[in-house]
Structure 1
């Protein structure tokens, strides 16, 4: 019987392989899809290093007519504030992502256990927050008056630390993917719940934890609204909010001749590259976060629970 099963299993692999035409179609689709994601970014990079007059005259092009770094020179005139805001964003992203994953995993694990008596209540509790909220004003008052987090880094971390959606995703992974036999065996061997969670559940859950971590990292890095609401000076603003302020100022000056005349009369600089600097702002804002994806990517396709239960 074992030999027959081995033959059946060995013979089933060729039938599961897609045909050459199907493989070509799949590869073509993903190549085209990848190019559609990469080409716009390449265009942004090209425009950001193009001459301003050339861009205004000829429009956006993949090959610049004249190479010019005036947009980056204009941005880096305030390099001290940019680097400081980069440090704020990196600190908030790293600390926020780590704390967020701790909170999400610790909440999702108990409600995934069938022997937890209040699992349904706490599952409904977190699901309810996805449908209803207290509103913007109570949310603001809680962080400012009750928790006194205004103008602190914690005001950029705490509002995003808990995500009901990712709690439910993680809970589903714990419940459907991690074999209950493994947990029961560990419990029989004398392991407590905390040891089971740290030594067994977390290592087997790296795919979902890495995926949630990546999205939380993107959420923290791309956030500018919290800096707008809670930060009143430039000391603790994130780099995204700093770039947002720069873009708003550029757009205002570009569309307001009166303000431009007043700035010129006062001896200020107004002839800045307004078109190319917008693209340079995108590159400055998106650059570091691109390197976060390769760190998480290897966990997306790894099936760590395959073969965990031996019959």
Structure 2
């Protein structure tokens, strides 16, 4: 999240020389991407992430969409006068970012944090794509595998023995689906109230005084 907000802050500064070029570099992958084959080759062969926990973390760590959100927030919310005042007082760029920009950017930090929580909690595709060891599967991947197995047994019940078919017929398919739905939704529903109080605007109103 820190990398995403840092990129968004850099792109929001009007005096940054490479602002336009880097904005297009970040924006174009939102419309066109290299596809599944190229991303799999880079993450598996070049970066060596296959069958590691990093394969579940790094591919989702930075999103062009989140960077654009941060850029828009910093550009429309952080007054240029506030940054210029800090520079006149002798503050460097790192000090400005960590002591001034981040403390008044809680709304966008909460928004990006909530998006990342949704992405990581609901993700099962990365495990299916990069992980062969089931001990490293994410919870959603295990639940998806569980439901796939239950559905497969239900579909093929007629080809099995009578006793086994009767066992399959009594399996709690719908109950399992409801339990999976609760497991998926409940943590997000519990986490949302902690982020909601930061979804406010106007934190910098009055920050610059004449």
> For this structure pair, what is the TM-score category when the shorter chain's length is used for normalisation?
over 0.9
Identify if the C-alpha distance between structure 1 residues 104 and 279 changes in structure 2 by more than 3 Å, giving closer, same or farther.
same
Deviation at 1:259, TM superposition (A): 5.3
User: For each residue in 1:193-213, what CA deviation from the matched residue of structure 2 results, as whole angstroms up to 9, or x when unmatched?
Assistant: 000000111111111111111
| Residue of structure 2 equivalent to 1:177 | 77
C-alpha distance in structure 2 between counterparts of 1:119 and 1:155, whole Å: 30
| Residue of structure 2 equivalent to 1:108 | 8
User: For each residue in 1:24-64, what CA deviation from the matched residue of structure 2 results, as whole angstroms up to 9, or x when unmatched?
Assistant: xxxxxxxxxxxxxxxxxxxxxxxxxxxxxxxxxxxxxxxxx
Count of aligned pairs between the two proteins: 209
4+ aligned runs moved over 4 Å, structure 1: none
| Residue of structure 2 equivalent to 1:291 | 190
C-alpha distance in structure 2 between counterparts of 1:259 and 1:233, whole Å: 30
Q: CA RMSD of the aligned region, Å?
A: 1.8
1:223 maps to which of 114, 123, 126: 123
Identify if the C-alpha distance between structure 1 residues 262 and 203 changes in structure 2 by more than 3 Å, giving closer, same or farther.
farther
| Residue of structure 1 equivalent to 2:171 | 272
C-alpha distance in structure 1 between counterparts of 2:162 and 2:119, whole Å: 39
C-alpha distance in structure 1 between counterparts of 2:70 and 2:201, whole Å: 16
Larger Rg: 1
TM, length-normalised to structure 2: 0.93
C-alpha distance in structure 2 between counterparts of 1:262 and 1:303, whole Å: 68
1:252 equivalent in alignment to 2:156: no
Deviation at 1:306, TM superposition (A): 1.8
Unaligned runs of 5+ in 1: 1-100
TM, length-normalised to structure 1: 0.64
User: For each residue in 1:261-308, what CA deviation from the matched residue of structure 2 results, as whole angstroms up to 9, or x when unmatched?
Assistant: 38828xx95332112111111112222222211111100025311221
Unaligned runs of 5+ in 2: none
1:303 equivalent in alignment to 2:195: no
C-alpha distance in structure 2 between counterparts of 1:222 and 1:252, whole Å: 22
* Secondary structure of the structure 1 residue equivalent to 2:94: helix
5 Å-filtered alignment, 1:1-311, equals 101-258=1-158, 260-261=160-161, 264=164, 270=168, 271-311=170-210
C-alpha distance in structure 2 between counterparts of 1:296 and 1:281, whole Å: 24
